[in-house]
Amino acid sequence: MIFIPYLFKKDLLRLKIIFFAWTLLILAQLALGIGGGKLVAEFLEFQMFLPLFTRLIGFLQCLMIIVIIPLIIQDDSLVGTAAFWFTRPISRKGLLFTKSCMILILLVITQLIAEIFVLAAQGATARLLLLAAPEIFIEKLAFVIPFVILAIITPKFSRYALVGIITFVAIVVALIIWSVITMFLRKYFPTFVKHLYNVNMAKSPSLGASGGIAKSIYVILIGSAIIAYQFLTRRTARTIIWLVAAFLIMVCFTRIWSWDFLKEIPVVKSPPAISGSLSVGLDANYISILDEPRFGKKDIRVKSINVKETVEGLPVGQFAILKETKDVQMKYPDGNSLKSDFVSTNNIKTYSNEQFMRPIQAALKDVKLLNPYKEDFSYTKVFSLDELTFHQFKNIKGTYSAHAVFDIYKYEIVSQMPLKPGAKNSFGAEQVVIYDILERANAISVIINEQKINLVFDRSVKKRSLGDFAQDMYSEYNHVYLIVNTKRNEAFLPEAGINLFSGAMELYSPTRLKTMAKKLDFTNLNSKSEPLPKIDEEWLADAELVRLDAVKVGAEQIDFTVDGFSIPSQSTETGKENSEIEKRLKMQYN
């Protein structure tokens, strides 16, 4: 054991150049993570490159880990009969300890510290940092372990690379073969195939996260045991047998994992004050017909019928978002009917719809919203039909019926901060920073950076899938920013439209930390271009940037029917050009 520091020193000395490169990468990660946001505020164009740089650094870090691990391990190789240390007074336990420490400290802990620093710089609270540490540690270690295993069963880097590539190709081929087999089985034995997949895991992000963490811990524990076994015995053939068995067990257990230990602890909210007289209607004046995207030439052309739905009967301040529509049916007087078990619902909406104005005003209480939006471009898909059926039944009046599931929301103020460059406010797992305010005549642009930390061990926040993140990005009704003059009790909503500079900055784990720059344009014109109070220095002196978040207060289901509903042959919209509507809908689909 006395010799351990010398072994450590020997490896450091030998790999000094590559460790120097590694340090540069860690520093680059820190620099981008901590200063990237500021850089974006200075040079807006940089926002486009920031995600690229962070991904490039992440990629290079992964690549370097893959290269460094065999260099650390194979200088004192465990395979073959020629390694120098075999006949020297170096204990196997000591060697295991040294190599493990080196990999742990240089490759795992450095990354952990760097990411913790970045999270801290993005405004993560001490609680979040404590939750982030084990998550990052588990993730980084679980990534490192397979490469350590590969390095301990191969004598040289060339063999390591070859075995690594062969293993990778073999896994890909096995997956392809598996998909082909299941495709075949699905056709003839659908029930059997259902049991082969953990459907719940795909549906529930928290169960998926639980399974992911369980898998990582399994990789760490079993992988460490295999590594220790090889170091202490150097019985490579047996090590490989253990490895294959452990891999097969892992594949099986991820398919049956059902313990959702990361399930969110529900936040107690006031029960939904739904009057019980909820009613849903479809506005025949706002119907849009769209061609659904086709993925192959042979795919049948499908038309989607999108309608503006109206939900009534909700208490003031609450609004409903259609979650899913089931048992959809159109019945025609001649006895014909069209059915669809499930219609996928696209609930991507922007706050610039009339339906959100009353809830926003309710959340603002005594503050008067000066520029509410008066129109609604919110459409919901109610039916999908192939082209033949569409032409057969268009313009025929019938009765539309469906079972609709809604989520009920209301707005709450989650953040208030002085409207000053550099102001920042942390709330929950989020932080908002005002980077710049650009003043123009009767208008200002506020450049903000939103930082959102999503940690698997944070059970107070709903787990989000990548799809959720994408939806969140475009569903602008989720987060609404306003400038509020606290003395005058006046508020302005920003101009409609998604003013994102670019995508989100991702730090290696695509869902752990998202930062997004937004440009909010405020003018003193309302949707009818009527002049409102001036947004001048005097008004801005007492202004705050306020954020409202849509908070779910409940869910509601309703069976509803619409008599005399017909599918028009083309989009029918009163007072608006179809092209604009369709452009919006297409954007939503994209």
Partner 1 sequence: MNNIIETRDLTKRFGKNTAVQSLNLTVPAGSIFAFLGPNGAGKTTTIKTLMNIMQPTQGSATIFGTDSRRLGPKEFAQIGYVSENQEMPEWMTINQFLNYCKKMYSTWDDKFCHELIEQFSLPLKQKLKSVSRGMKMKAALVSSLAYRPQLLIFDEPFSGLDPLVRDEFISGVLNITEDKNWTILISSHDIDEVERLADWVGIIDKGLLKIVEQAEVLQNRFRRIELTLKDPIDIKHNFPENWYLPELQDRTVHFIDSQYEDRKSEDKIRTIFPNCSNVEVMGMSLREIFVTFAKKFRISEL
Considering the complex, state which of residue 86 and residue 342 has its C-beta at the smaller distance from partner 1. Answer: 86
d(CA 151, CA 159): 9
Task: Give 367's DSSP letter.
Answer: S
Sketch the per residue contact string, 479 through 518, with partner 1: x for CB under 8 A, - otherwise.
----------------------------------------
Nearer to partner 1, 228 or 284 (CB): 228
CA nearest to 346, candidates 164, 489, 474: 474
**Minimum separation from the CB atom of position 245 to partner 1 (A):** 22
| Residues 493, 513: Cα–Cα separation, whole Å | 27
8 sits near partner 1 (criterion: CB under 8 A): no
Find the binder of partner 1 among 20, 45, 81, 467 (CB under 8 A): 81
Q: Is 153 in the site for partner 1 (CB under 8 A)?
A: no
Amino acid identity at 419: L
CB of 107 to partner 1, least distance (A): 21
Closer CB to partner 1, residue 120 or residue 232?
A: 232
H helices then E strands: how many in the chain?
16, 16
* Options 75-83, 158-166, 417-425, 504-512: segment touching partner 1 (CB under 8 A): 75-83
Min separation Cβ 94 and partner 1, Å = 8
> How far is Cα 213 from Cα 217, in angstroms, rounded to an integer?
6
Q: How many residues bind partner 1 (CB under 8 A)?
A: 18
Which position among 23, 48, 62, 84 is part of the footprint of partner 1 (CB under 8 A)?
Answer: 84
From 17, 82, 237, 265, residue interacting with partner 1 (rule: CB under 8 A): 82
d(CA 164, CA 79): 16
Do 549 and 478 meet the contact criterion of CB atoms below 8 Å apart? yes
Choosing from 45, 89, 190, 529, the residue that interacts with partner 1 (CB under 8 A) is 89
Identified binder of partner 1 from the candidate list 25, 40, 79, 90, rule CB under 8 A:
90
Q: Are 314 and 320 a contacting pair, CB within 8 Å?
A: yes
Q: Which is nearer to partner 1, 3 or 242 (CB)?
A: 3
Contacts 24+ apart (CB under 8 A), 56-61: 57/25, 57/28, 57/29, 57/32, 58/29, 58/506, 58/507, 58/508, 60/25, 61/22, 61/25, 61/26, 61/29, 61/111, 61/508
Distance between CA 8 and CA 254 in Å, rounded? 37
List alpha helices for 349-478, DSSP H.
357-364, 387-393, 466-474
Q: Which two tokens stand for residue 49?
A: 């490159």
- Amino acid type, 112: L
By the 8 A CB rule, do 178 and 101 touch?
no
- Alpha-carbon distance 357 to 351, whole Å? 8
Contact between 122 and 449 under an 8 Å Cβ cutoff? The reply is: no
Residues 228-247 within binding reach of partner 1 (CB under 8 A) = 235
Q: Which of the ranges 45-53, 90-98, 129-137, 525-533 carries the binding residues for partner 1, by CB under 8 A?
A: 90-98
Only one residue has tokens 């959809």, namely: 328
Among 43, 59, 86, 192, binds partner 1 (CB under 8 A): 86
Among 20, 45, 88, 276, binds partner 1 (CB under 8 A): 88
Task: For residue 527, count CB atoms less than 10 angstroms from its CB and return exposed for 0-12, middle for 13-18, buried for 19 or more.
Answer: middle
**Cα 531 vs. chain centroid, distance in angstroms?**
39
| 89 vs 333, beta carbon nearer partner 1 | 89
**Nearer Cβ to partner 1, position 84 or 589?**
84
| Least CB distance to partner 1 at residue 104 (A) | 23
Least separation in angstroms between CB 84 and partner 1: 6
Considering beta carbons, is residue 90 or 144 the nearer one to partner 1?
90
Selected from 30, 31, 75, 560, the binder of partner 1 by CB under 8 A is: 75
Q: Phi, psi (5° rounding) for residue 516?
A: -140, 125
The least distance separating partner 1 from the CB of residue 90, rounded to whole angstroms, comes to 7
- Residues found near partner 1 in the complex (CB under 8 A): 3, 6, 10, 14, 75, 77, 81-84, 86-91, 94, 235
